[in-house]
Amino acid sequence: MDGIARISSFFLLSVLLQSSLNSSLGSAQSIISAGKMATAGKVIKCRAAVAWEPDQPVVIEEIEVAPPQASEVRIKIVATSVCHSDLYHLLQSMHKDGFPTVLGHEGAGIVESVGSGVTEFQPGDKVIPLFLCQCKECRFCKSPRTNQCERAWTRVRQEIMAGVESRFTCKGKRVHQFMGTSTFSEYTVINQIAVTKIDPAAPLDKVCLLGCGICTGYGAAVNTAKVEPGSTCAVFGLGAVGLAAVMGCKAAGAKRIIAIDINPDKAEKAKVLGATDFVNPKDHNKPIHEVIAGMTNGGVDFSLECVGNVEVMLSALESSMEAWGVSVIVGWTDMYDISIRPRHLICGRTWKGSMFGGFKGKDGVAEMVKAYLEKKVRLDEFITHNMTLDQINDAIELMKNCKCIRAVMTVSPQ
Ligand SMILES: NC(=O)c1ccc[n+]([C@@H]2O[C@H](COP(=O)([O-])OP(=O)(O)OC[C@H]3O[C@@H](n4cnc5c(N)ncnc54)[C@H](O)[C@@H]3O)[C@@H](O)[C@H]2O)c1
Ligand SMILES: *[C@@H]1O[C@H](CO)[C@@H](O)[C@H](O)[C@H]1NC(C)=O
Ligand SMILES: [Zn+2]
Ligand SMILES: [Zn+2]
208-226 pLDDT per residue, tens: 999 999 999 999 999 999 9
Ligand closest to the CA atom of residue 135: 4
Average pLDDT over residues 101-123: 98
Which range among 81-95, 189-203, 364-378 shows the weakest confidence by mean pLDDT? 81-95
What band does 158 get if pLDDT is binned at 50, 70 and 90? Answer: confident
Q: Which of 386, 387, 404, 405 maximizes ligand 2 atoms within 8 Å of its Cβ, making it the mutation to test the pocket?
A: 386
Closest residue CA from atom 10 of ligand 1: 331
User: Kindly report the CA angle at 301 between 298 and 305, in degrees rounded to 5?
Assistant: 100
Task: Report the predicted TM-score, pTM, of the whole model to 2 decimal places.
Answer: 0.91
What band does 38 get if pLDDT is binned at 50, 70 and 90? Answer: confident
Tell which atom from ligand 1 comes closest to the C-alpha of 311.
31
First to last CA, the chain: 20
Residues in the ligand 1 pocket, defined by CB under 6 Å? 83-85, 88, 212-213, 216, 236-242, 260-263, 266, 281, 306-309, 312, 330-332, 354-356, 399, 402
* Among 68, 63, 66, 67, CA closest to 45: 63
Tell which atom from ligand 1 comes closest to the C-alpha of 83.
15
Query: With a 6 A CB cut-off, is 72 part of the ligand 2 pocket?
Result: no
Ligand closest to the CA atom of residue 361: 4
Contact 41, 161 (CB under 8 A): no
Q: How many residues comprise the chain?
A: 414
Domains of the chain as residue ranges with CATH: 40-211+379-410 (3.90.180.10), 217-354 (3.40.50.720)
Task: Report d(CA 237, CA 215) in Å as an integer.
Answer: 16
- CA 386 – ligand 2 centroid, Å: 6
Ligand closest to the CA atom of residue 150: 4
Q: For the sheet with 277-279, list strands across it.
A: 277-279, 256-260, 232-236, 302-305, 326-329, 350-353
Asked whether the predicted pLDDT for residue 156 surpasses 90, the reply is no
What pLDDT does 94 receive?
86
What pLDDT does 37 receive?
54
Asked whether the predicted pLDDT for residue 27 surpasses 80, the reply is no
Asked whether the predicted pLDDT for residue 264 surpasses 90, the reply is yes
Query: What amino acid positions are annotated as catalytic residues?
Result: 83, 85, 89, 105, 212
What band does 373 get if pLDDT is binned at 50, 70 and 90? Answer: very high
Closest residue CA from atom 10 of ligand 2: 386
Q: What is the mean pLDDT of the chain?
A: 91
Q: Over the stretch 280-339, which tens digit does the pLDDT of each residue have? A: 999 999 999 999 999 999 999 999 999 999 999 999 999 999 999 999 999 998 889 999
Tell which atom from ligand 1 comes closest to the C-alpha of 87.
43
Query: With a 6 A CB cut-off, is 384 part of the ligand 2 pocket?
Result: yes
User: Kindly report the CA angle at 17 between 16 and 20, in degrees rounded to 5?
Assistant: 85
Q: Which element (helix H / strand E) includes 302?
A: strand 302-305
Tell which atom from ligand 2 comes closest to the C-alpha of 385.
13
Query: With a 6 A CB cut-off, is 205 part of the ligand 2 pocket?
Result: yes
Average pLDDT over residues 378-398: 98
Query: With a 6 A CB cut-off, is 206 part of the ligand 2 pocket?
Result: no
- CA 322 – ligand 3 centroid, Å: 31
